């Protein structure tokens, strides 16, 4: 069992953050895992990390996951570690204290080993994880009952949620969607139709997502007022807010309270959904032929097509010349990609340094900002990547 001793997070002074990309974060100890992160946490007192900064964990990292305020790292041994905001219990360590400069272990009951965490992404000030037995656990704010416990009670340590055989979960804002026994259920805020149950009502108890006709889901995504499901057959459906064309069906305006299929010219193999406010929201997808599409809000160039505005139907975007993307991510209004060589590219909003290029200037075209990455998660103004280069 890994010790619960708090582990150091490498921090850099403001002047160092503005230095060149060749400035390497501090080295991790031999045999330990490393995560790079940058941007800003909600509640971090205005601290901005304008360049990638390293976090050292006590073992190899299997997955990373982010929320608006907190970052998580799942280790190969099944333990989960967290750092960032903790004022709503989202660190899961039994306190209401934040921990911006060290990682703490999330406290599950004895014998619980975590198998996966949401990568895209977690609800506001709330954490989620699935154990090796298919049980799902939740902790933190639970503002609108997104933990499906029938209440809005705050939890400082993980509690088991009322589902079995859970294969995946995604949440954002104040809602979450769970795939349990092959059926999608949602809880929490429903004002934009983000529960997908045919209503605009909140619910702290599980509501079945309608309209997918029993199709098997291969991925779940979420953003402030939206949720989405990628089916095994390559079709992609989303639902919820549509103020900026987030549904991708050519319309702007009314929300969708049940899933809507996005018309795309091929099968989807990967999807990332972003948005942190009622006035933003975008989705990026990769198709089976490797081509890329995006739609929704583009006021900060986050769709990657070099333009601004609202795009209510999918538009094509491209990686830099000679680069092939292997993974996509998108946060509040910033987008990211990992290349097949492990380079992290970022473009879009950068007011909190979330592009990681050392400035706070909007990034109109993809810029290389980190390297040696194997996976990525981004929410609001907060981004982290699992890396192997240290």
The domain spans of the chain are: 7-13+44-387
The whole-number pLDDT of residue 388 equals 85
* The domain defined by 7-13+44-387 carries CATH number 3.20.20.450: no
Cα angle at 228 between 222 and 233, to 5 degrees? 140
Local structure of residue 14 (DSSP, 8 states)? H
The CA-atom distances, in angstroms, between 299 and each of 15, 274, 282 are 30, 13, 10
The two tokens of residue 115 are 């198998």
Question: Residue 382, Cα to own-chain centre: how many angstroms?
Answer: 9
The whole-number pLDDT of residue 213 equals 83
pLDDT less than 50: residues of the chain: 1-32, 390
The CA-atom distances, in angstroms, between 190 and each of 176, 197, 225 are 10, 9, 8
316 near 307, Cβ under 8 Å? no
Choose among 70, 76, 78: nearest CA to 110: 78
39 near 352, Cβ under 8 Å? yes
Please enumerate in sequence order all residues whose Cβ is within 8 A of that of 226, keeping only pairs 6 or more positions apart, or say none.
172, 192, 194, 238, 239, 240, 241, 246, 273, 275, 281
The whole-number pLDDT of residue 303 equals 98
344 near 240, Cβ under 8 Å? no
The b-or-e profile of 162-175 (16+ CB within 10 A means b, else e) is bbeebbbbbbbbbb
Beta bridge partners of 286: 270, 292
d(CA 52, CA 59): 20
d(CA 164, CA 179): 9
The whole-number pLDDT of residue 44 equals 66
The whole-number pLDDT of residue 30 equals 35
The CA-atom distances, in angstroms, between 327 and each of 130, 187, 254, 377 are 22, 28, 31, 10
The whole-number pLDDT of residue 300 equals 98
The whole-number pLDDT of residue 187 equals 98
The two tokens of residue 372 are 């040696």
- Where helices occur in the chain by DSSP H, the ranges are 14-17
């Amino acid at each position: 069992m890994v010790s619960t001793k708090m582990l150091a997070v490498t921090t850099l002074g403001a002047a160092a953050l503005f230095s060149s990309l060749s400035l390497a974060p501090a080295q991790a100890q031999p045999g330990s895992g490393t995560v790079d992160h940058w941007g800003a946490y909600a509640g971090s007192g205005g601290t901005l990390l304008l360049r990638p900064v390293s976090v050292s964990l006590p073992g190899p990292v299997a997955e990373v996951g982010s929320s608006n305020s907190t970052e998580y790292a799942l280790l190969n041994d099944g333990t989960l570690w967290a750092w960032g905001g903790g004022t709503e219990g989202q660190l899961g360590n039994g306190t209401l204290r934040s921990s911006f400069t060290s990682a703490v272990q999330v406290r599950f009951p004895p014998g619980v080993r975590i198998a996966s965490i949401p990568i895209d992404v977690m609800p506001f000030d709330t954490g989620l994880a699935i154990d090796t037995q298919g049980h799902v656990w939740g902790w933190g704010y639970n503002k609108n009952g997104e933990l499906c416990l029938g209440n809005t009670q705050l939890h400082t340590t993980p509690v088991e949620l009322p589902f079995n055989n859970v294969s995946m979960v995604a949440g954002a804002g104040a809602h979450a969607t769970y795939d349990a026994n092959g059926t999608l259920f949602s809880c929490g805020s429903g004002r934009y139709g983000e529960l997908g149950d045919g209503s605009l009502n909140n619910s702290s108890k599980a509501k079945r997502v309608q309209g997918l006709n029993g199709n098997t889901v291969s991925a779940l995504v979420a953003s402030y007022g939206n949720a989405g499901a990628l089916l095994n057959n390559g079709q992609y459906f989303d639902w919820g807010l549509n103020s900026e064309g987030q549904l991708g069906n050519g319309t702007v305006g009314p929300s969708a309270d049940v899933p809507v299929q996005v018309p795309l010219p091929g099968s989807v193999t990967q999807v990332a959904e972003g948005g942190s406010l009622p006035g933003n929201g975008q989705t990026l997808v990769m198709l089976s032929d490797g081509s890329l599409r995006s739609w929704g809000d583009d006021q900060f160039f986050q769709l990657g097509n070099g333009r601004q505005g609202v795009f209510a139907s999918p538009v094509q975007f491209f990686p830099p010349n000679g680069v092939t993307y292997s993974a996509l991510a998108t946060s509040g209004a910033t987008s990211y990609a990992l290349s097949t060589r492990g380079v992290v590219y970022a473009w879009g909003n950068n007011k909190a340094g979330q592009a990681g290029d050392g400035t706070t200037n909007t990034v109109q075209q993809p810029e290389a900002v980190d390297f040696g990455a194997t996976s990525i998660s981004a929410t609001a103004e907060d981004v982290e990547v699992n890396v192997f280069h240290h």
